[in-house]
Amino acid sequence: MLHRFKTGQVLELRSAPRQTNRPSGPCEVISCMPHDRGPVLYRVRSLSETIERVVEEADLSLGRTIEASIAETQSVFAAP
């Protein structure tokens, strides 16, 4: 299984009910963790904290503001 996100990408981290100390919000992918089976894992750093966490791919998404920025960039460079 391939990693959906890349190192350096800024994504939206969802909060987890069982891990109440993990904040939701923007985070940066620090590395893609190797795996043989099970969920795809990433090491991320929240933009509001200095610590790194390992999270499952299901807890990450592009987020609305990031998606809007990508769409805007694509429309600027689209052929007329």
pLDDT digits (tens, 9 = 90+) for 2-53: 888 999 999 999 877 776 677 788 999 999 998 888 889 999 998 888 889 9
pLDDT digits (tens, 9 = 90+) for 56-68: 999 999 876 555 5
pLDDT, residue 21, reads 76
- The stretch 59-79 carries a mean pLDDT of 63
pLDDT(77) > 90: no
Evaluate whether 6 touches 18 at the Cβ level (below 8 Å): no
Q: What is the CA radius of gyration of the chain?
A: 14
CA–CA separation, 58 vs 49, rounded Å? Answer: 21
pLDDT(69) > 80: no
23-32 residues labelled b (16+ CB within 10 A) or e (exposed): eeebbbbeeb
